[in-house]
């Protein structure tokens, strides 16, 4: 299967527009559960989030949040698939097209001069992670990462002697310090291990997993559940106004690391955990529906 510029460009444009408008079913499901747990003002906030999402999905031309986020693409290519183009160039072109067509807020600026490209594309932007996978076919996932939660994300090179308690304390402190600025209830991606650069990527990949699906590693699955319980006892609640639901879900990805290191990264997503995915086919693609079955 040959993946062309035109297919990737069109796929990127549609994924970006879909992610900004249509909240994935797994997020809606967890929000509905949070609404049932909450009372008073907190329950009203969750109801408003759900209603806002449904209005955006049904309108045809409105988005969930005015912040159109950082487009982060995760491209997985299996055996038998060949790239007939530079994927980063094609994906950036698709983002530009969607931005112009739908009059989306442009976020991409120079890190030094702060000059805005007005296209949501620029040097190294959107972000593209390109992987080779063992199974057949090709798949692409887009995370639209709003800056409120992204800016509250943190990375630390912990002392290994602090062990699991040190990891949990750092993750909880990150969520607590994010408070209302991360637009809770948050979805939390945690990376453990690897190196300084790869641990941040692990935390981002954790956010690409379907919500409700625990890690296949029993120890990590236990930690995910424990952390979620701890977060929801912080009392921060929806939009930081208090309540039982500070986090919707916690996902952890890990890698082995150096014996003297214990890198940990925490990547937050706001309540509108916007993402979309597609399977690339011969001469086209097929949009997927996210749910808790994967």
Q: Which residues contact 292 (CB under 8 A, 6 or more apart)?
A: 26, 29, 210, 211, 212, 213
**How high is the mean pLDDT in each 10-residue block of the chain (294 residues)?**
94 97 96 96 97 94 95 94 94 98 97 97 96 89 93 96 97 97 97 97 97 97 98 97 97 97 97 96 85 42
* Secondary structure of residue 113 in the 3-state scheme: coil
Instruction: Give pLDDT tens digits for 141-200.
Output: 999 999 888 999 999 999 999 999 999 999 999 999 999 999 999 999 999 999 999 999
Cα–Cα nearest to 166, from 133, 192, 140: 192
What is the reported pTM? 0.94
* Secondary structure of residue 183 in the 3-state scheme: coil
- Residue 287 parent element (H or E): strand 284-287
Write down the pLDDT at residue 292.
44
The C-alpha angle with vertex 123 and arms to 117 and 125, in degrees rounded to 5, equals 80
* Secondary structure of residue 255 in the 3-state scheme: strand
Write down the pLDDT at residue 290.
58
């Amino acid at each position: 299967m040959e993946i062309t510029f035109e297919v990737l460009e069109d796929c990127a444009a549609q994924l970006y527009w879909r992610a900004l408008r249509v909240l994935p079913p797994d997020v809606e499901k967890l929000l509905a559960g949070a609404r049932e747990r909450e009372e008073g003002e907190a329950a009203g906030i969750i109801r408003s989030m759900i209603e806002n999402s449904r209005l955006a999905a049904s309108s045809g031309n409105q988005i969930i949040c005015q912040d159109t986020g950082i487009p982060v693409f995760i491209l997985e290519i299996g055996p038998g698939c060949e790239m007939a183009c530079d994927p980063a160039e094609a994906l950036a072109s698709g983002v530009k097209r969607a931005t112009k067509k739908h009059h989306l807020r442009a976020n991409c600026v120079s890190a030094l001069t702060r000059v805005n490209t007005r296209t949501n594309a620029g040097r190294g932007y959107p972000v593209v992670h390109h992987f080779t996978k063992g199974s057949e076919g090709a798949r692409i996932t887009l995370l639209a990462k709003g800056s409120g939660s992204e800016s509250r994300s943190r990375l630390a090179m912990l002392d290994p002697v602090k062990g699991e308690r040190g990891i949990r304390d750092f993750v909880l402190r990150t969520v607590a310090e994010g408070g209302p600025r991360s637009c809770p209830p948050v979805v939390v991606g945690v990376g453990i291990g690897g190196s300084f650069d790869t641990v941040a990527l692990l935390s981002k990949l954790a956010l690409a997993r379907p919500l409700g699906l625990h890690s296949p590693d029993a120890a990590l699955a236990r930690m995910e559940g424990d952390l979620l319980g701890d977060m929801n006892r912080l009392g921060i609640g929806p939009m930081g106004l208090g309540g039982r639901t500070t986090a919707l879900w916690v996902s952890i990805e890990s890698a082995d690391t150096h014996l003297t290191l214990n890198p940990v990264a925490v990547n937050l997503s706001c309540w509108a955990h916007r993402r979309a995915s597609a399977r690339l086919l011969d001469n086209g693609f097929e949009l997927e529906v996210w749910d808790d079955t994967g």
